[in-house]
Amino acid sequence: MIEEQHTETIPALISHFIQGEFVESLGGGRFETLNPDTNAPLAMVASGEPEDIDRAVASAHEGWQNYWRDMAPKERARYLNRIADGLESATDVMATWDSVDTGIPIHQTRGQISRAADNFRFFAEMATRMTGESFPNAPHFMNYSVRQPIGVAGLITPWNTPLMLETWKIAPCLAAGDTAVLKPAEWSPLTAYRLARIIQEADLPPGVFNMVQGFGESAGAALVRHPRVPLISFIGETTTGQEIMRTGSDFLKRFSMELGGKSPVVVFGDADLDRALDAVLYGIYTLNGERCTAGSRLFVEDRVYDRFVADLSHRIQRIKVGHPLDPETDIGQLIHPEHWARVKSYVDLAPVEGFTVVAGGRRPPDFPQGNYLEPTLLTGVRNDMRVAQEEIFGPVLTVMPFHTEEEAMLWANDVRYGLASYVWTGDVARSQRFAQGIEAGMVWVNSQNVRDLRTPFGGSKWSGFGREGGHYSFDFYTETKTVHVAAGSHPIPRLGI
């Protein structure tokens, strides 16, 4: 049963938002965004080109100089809270648009909208708490540091949980006193457009938030190359991050890079196996498996392996694949036919690599069209296989048995990515050894991925660098300036007397 969540129609043209106004591309270019249920066009989208980026950056620069840079943090916080209010009151429409645009089930997109509002509320509060440090050096000096906004930030975001990730960037950027040019992903333009309407209704001064839709190679690259954009905060694939850094290095830009992942989940026999099972299923099959922190490589201690895998297979058969607007659906459609083909191509490596598809791996028989794929479990996997090493970014889980703690750690670390990691054990000391030894930006012990917005979020190795969240976001979005004040007359060597 597909629920009618709201009555707001998706506009025929999804435009840019520059200087407080919705505008088309200067050159009039447009592209189609597809409905992943049918792959028929959902709407036309303005296709941003370098001249549109120029216009957006000029607007953001003016907004920064004229309104935002010198506004009291308390005032900025008021605007951010107003945006959060707007998001909350538009939850139905936002969640519906997010689901039809991305294929993510409605009960999950509802959670994402709520988190998007939380991002604004959290950073509204952080704006008022931003402090410097003092370094008293009596009697000669009083030294202190201040954080200052830097200017225009280019925010480049992916299509998985688009609104949540866009707000994860916009909120700290605005809280810090910078202004934004957002370039949303070309496969998921709808909610960024709707967010711009909320921002317009919140009466944000013109130019403080700008958004240019379009492709990475044109709009995205122009933003990275723009000399008036000192900050690039990027979320996306590792290879795209590398390309962006190459382009931006000519301008010595400051980067925050939240890149791909292939995160291990290690389950020891002494863990609460029922909870571990729930978390494993949640960690790979929610958000259609299109989650950067998905626990996509499962390692299970050999003495409980058979039982755990049997339970997993049993539960996987009962996961409901369906239309994302059906409240009963657990897995909707993958975002795009190209992505569907990419994910499926990994499953099709079975005869080449020698693993076994024990559950799923096919288009569900009830869905002859659209980007539907069954939740998939692969066994007989070796850690050097492509399915164990490369980010698949879909509902595909590999599982391997291990015998010793050392072996589990070795295999968990033997991958180029280092974003998230998860360990399940009843042994506190072992959980701490694991937390120390794992090569990842984040470790969850006996827990699925539960976020605390105060903590630093980010990856190591090929999963990127820089941390955002809490005050760590301000390390990226502000410049730390040190002021040295002489108090009295410290000795000054006198030359040339």
Q: How far apart are CA 426 and CA 271, in angstroms?
A: 5
The dihedral sign for the CA sequence 473, 474, 478, 481 = negative
Is 4 one of the catalytic residues?
no
Nearer to ligand NAD, 70 or 217 (CB): 217
Q: How far apart are CA 51 and CA 27, in angstroms?
A: 8
Q: How far apart are CA 53 and CA 47, in angstroms?
A: 11
Beta bridge partners of 182: 155, 211
**Minimum CB–partner distance for residue 181 and ligand NAD (Å):** 12
**Minimum CB–partner distance for residue 393 and ligand NAD (Å):** 5
**Minimum CB–partner distance for residue 80 and ligand NAD (Å):** 21
User: Which residue type sits at 174?
Assistant: L
Nearer to ligand NAD, 355 or 393 (CB): 393
Nearer to ligand NAD, 175 or 222 (CB): 222
Nearest to 474 by CA among 226, 177, 208, 189: 177
Is 292 one of the catalytic residues?
yes
Q: How far apart are CA 458 and CA 441, in angstroms?
A: 6
- Whole-number Cα distances in Å, 409 to 303, 421, 427: 17, 11, 15
Nearer to ligand NAD, 178 or 468 (CB): 468
| Cα–chain center distance at 256 | 12
Q: How far apart are CA 363 and CA 371, in angstroms?
A: 8
Burial of residue 113 (CB within 10 Å: 0-12, 13-18, 19+) is: buried
**Minimum CB–partner distance for residue 184 and ligand NAD (Å):** 6
User: Which residue type sits at 204?
Assistant: L
- Whole-number Cα distances in Å, 206 to 17, 77, 211: 10, 17, 12
**Minimum CB–partner distance for residue 47 and ligand NAD (Å):** 11
**Minimum CB–partner distance for residue 117 and ligand NAD (Å):** 19
Residue nearest to ligand NAD (CB): 216
Beta-carbon contacts of 440 under 8 Å, excluding residues fewer than 6 positions away, are 263, 418, 419, 420, 421, 459, 460, 463
**Minimum CB–partner distance for residue 188 and ligand NAD (Å):** 8
**Minimum CB–partner distance for residue 295 and ligand NAD (Å):** 13
Q: How far apart are CA 315 and CA 295, in angstroms?
A: 17
Nearer to ligand NAD, 379 or 473 (CB): 473
Angle at 29 between CA 28 and CA 31, to 5 degrees: 140
Task: State the DSSP H helix or E strand holding residue 461, giving kind and residue range, or none if neither.
Answer: strand 460-461
Nearer to ligand NAD, 186 or 301 (CB): 186
Task: State the DSSP H helix or E strand holding residue 104, giving kind and residue range, or none if neither.
Answer: none
Contact 47, 115 (CB under 8 A): no
Q: How far apart are CA 118 and CA 184, in angstroms?
A: 20
Nearer to ligand NAD, 276 or 420 (CB): 420
Nearer to ligand NAD, 372 or 393 (CB): 393
Contact set with ligand NAD (CB under 6 A): 156-160, 165, 183, 185-186, 215-217, 220-221, 224, 235-237, 240, 243-244, 258-261, 292, 391, 393, 419, 459, 463-464
- DSSP letter at 7? -
**Minimum CB–partner distance for residue 18 and ligand NAD (Å):** 17
Q: Which of 166, 173, 292, 391 is catalytic?
A: 292
- Alpha-carbon Rg for the chain, nearest whole angstrom, is 24
Per DSSP, the residues of 422-459 read: EEE-S-HHHHHHHHHH--SSEEEESS-----TTS-B--
Nearer to ligand NAD, 115 or 147 (CB): 115
Residues with a catalytic annotation lie at: 258, 292
